Amino acid sequence: MKIHDIHTEQKNVVLLLHPMLATAQMMQELLAEPMGNTFRYIIPDFSGHGEAADSDYESAAKEAQQLSISRSRISAKFSWHSEHLWVQ
């Protein structure tokens, strides 16, 4: 997995997770860019996708753990709201 961290100077964080057959670049172009540069965007390329296309797949649990470690580095609070994950 490769984690893209965009606009790191911003305080409010948006975590964008791509669906199957998509990439972090697609999420950046379709969502982050139209939303503007007022947010920090964390956009992972999961194993087998985008810039992580050649990486070995271990498990969804391992990639979730890597996101959790990244979360602690950015000091963000993640919470679930309905079917969406909000970062505060």
- State the average pLDDT for the chain: 80
39, two tokens: 């947010």
2/58: higher pLDDT = 2
pTM of the shown model: 0.72
Q: Quick count: other Cβ atoms within 10 Å of Cβ 61?
A: 8
**What is the reported pLDDT for 71?**
59
Inter-residue contact 12 to 79 (CB < 8 Å): no
Domain count, the chain: 1
24: its two tokens? 């972090």
82 compared with 27, residue with greater pLDDT: 27
Nearest to 23 by CA among 54, 57, 46: 46
Which is more confident, 8 or 20? Answer: 8
Q: At 18, is the pLDDT very low, low, confident or very high (cuts 50, 70, 90)?
A: confident
In terms of residue numbers, what domain contains 78? 2-87
The 10s digit of each residue's pLDDT in 47-86 is 878 888 888 887 888 888 887 766 555 555 544 444 444 4
Burial of 55 (0-12, 13-18, 19+ CB in 10 A): middle
